[in-house]
Structure 1
Amino acid sequence: MDNRSGKGLSFVKRIYLPRIIGLGIGLLSVAAAVAPLSPPIWIWCALLFNGLLWPHLAYQWAKRSTAPFQAEQRNLLLDSLMGGFWTAAMHFNPLPTVTVLSMMTMNNVAAGGRRMVAQGLVAQLVGMLLASLLLGTGLQLDATPLQIYACLPMLTLYPLALGWVCYRLAIKLAEHKRRLSALSQTDSLTGLLNHGAWKDMLLLKFQACLQQQAPAVIALIDIDHFKTINDTFGHVVGDCVLRQLSAELQRNLREGDQAGRYGGDEFCVILPGTSEEQACQAMERLRERVASYRNPQLPHLRISLSIGLSAFHPGLESPEHWLDQADKALYSAKRQGRDQINFAHGEVTALKLAYPD
């Protein structure tokens, strides 16, 4: 929170505009209340400083601090102290006093909750005591029409400004929450769904297929001899191969298809609304695109894929059963010599033969 370029500085910026508006229109309320008391000239100078110059001074003070968040909390306590000072200076005129103190308390609630409210209350009492020592005590219970009208901008415009700042903050927090949610579901290396997020998606698709009796196919994809690639060319190249495959998946799959990194060098895809033939064609295009990849700096690097496919059918007991069938098809493809596609049902279909290079 105290980082100069982090949340502390953003907190300072959020307070700046409400303070300008609040102290600027609060100046009218206080001026209308102290004018009948014929205060000394220094009170008018202090009032003008507090209402017009202090917001900008406070902003620069906190902005240039090594701990902006703490500096802004200090500024808020000074606001409370000055608010208490002005309530005593205007002899606790009811309407301006309630207006000023309630706006200060609203600031403290929004900025720091219960603890900040308690500290602000102490600062207000200190400000009242200071004004009483300098100006004497008094009690003015009658409010003039001018004082009432002078309080109206504070009672209307300032809550509107503070509400707008809170609304903007809520929008930002919601956006950050969406981003964090997306990051928690994304594999950092490939940008695809991670293992857990893809398994959650598989459960949803399985339930949808059961309810709607809709076709769907899942694919498990394994990079052949990936360990050899890592051992021969290094893990940096291995990571590049993983990113290359994820990029091909994102380019070649439809918008509704869900691709994820299942773990290590295994990838997984849900193909909703897809027949077995369509799934075979899509995966064969992927296999051919990956096989044709060449890196000019690594002419000996070759990439091939083994792919296991499993179509949804009512006899599947669970998403895990569905996935297990695709896993068996994948290992069947690997046992048959790799670089091919196999379906989960009884016939061992090597689509490398159906779609020759």
Structure 2
Amino acid sequence: MRSGKIGIRRERLCLLLAVLASLFLVSACRDRGAISYKVIYEMDRPAADETASPSEAANSRRYKIGVVPKVTDIAYFDVVKQGAQEAAWDLDVDLLYEGPSTADPDEQIEVIRGLMEKRVDVIAVSANDPKKLVPVLREAKEQGIRVITWDADTGPEAREFFVNMADPETLGRHLLDTLAWSMGEKGEFAVMTGQLSAANLNEWIDWIKVQREQFYPGMKLVEIVPNDDDPKKAYEGAVGLLKRYPGLDGIIGTSSVGPPAAAEAVREAKRAGEVRVVGLSTPELMRSYLHEGSAQAATLWSPKKLGYLTVVLARNMMLGMLPYDDQTIANVGNIRVHGDMIIMGEPLDFTKDNVDQYDF
């Protein structure tokens, strides 16, 4: 009997332990079941605010970048647009390439306001006026939009950094060198520029003047003629120069529409080789004039690379990656950084001997 009672007690104890164990397992499974479901769900579809690090969350965003040229529908900025589009495709960002129809600061301000309304993440602008654009760009910054400049700068308080094509001193001095070599370092010359308020153009002209004073006392600058980046105005300006200065020996164009307009005017006046033409423009615009001798040299960088670099640096900035000196940028090359100015590279010269090697 005693052994029977012990057996009953053991059965009751086992039953009690089984009940307690089952209650424990049910409770644990309820808790763990909820956690397990959540973990599996987040692995399949991670929530950026709970599982991703800030850098991972940033990488998963598709940024919207607004790029604003000085003016639309001229060859130089059309090629910049091609480069910007390629970078947007490569980096999977949305590109809004929008500019004014004329090189008018007020019209450019309206374009910027339109991009602000579209809630872009970055505005990258080639400024028509370094001062007029400051207030609207500061408004954009106050709204949380990042701002950079490229091609032509504003006041530094309006942007984070400036993407420059080439060192301004190097470029300005080099432009006068190319003209001086073709003029025999003596004679009268004029400068055809874009907007009189454009900071980059004015800086290049300042260095042209310095180079003349230091190295070419036999050369005389007779006039600086603006054309507002308008091909028709540029042509009219060149025709006017040839009439006002019958003894003119050379013309430097500091905006892309200037040199081809000057070369066309020289060709029509049958003064090819007598009036030398150099300056900043694309190989495509200058090819025929270089071959026939209406122009002697064109200088530029790759506008396509400039557009590509601008979009890359804008997107990197959104990821918390700022440019640094000697950084290698895919499809561009090594860049230089001087304070808050990024320099893409050195200028290239195009002559009748090498212009056919380039297709922009």
Give the TM-score normalised by the residue count of structure 1.
0.22
Bigger fraction of residues in strand? 2
TM-score normalised per structure 2: 0.22
By percentage of residues, which structure has more helix? Answer: 1
Q: Greater CA radius of gyration, 1 or 2?
A: 1
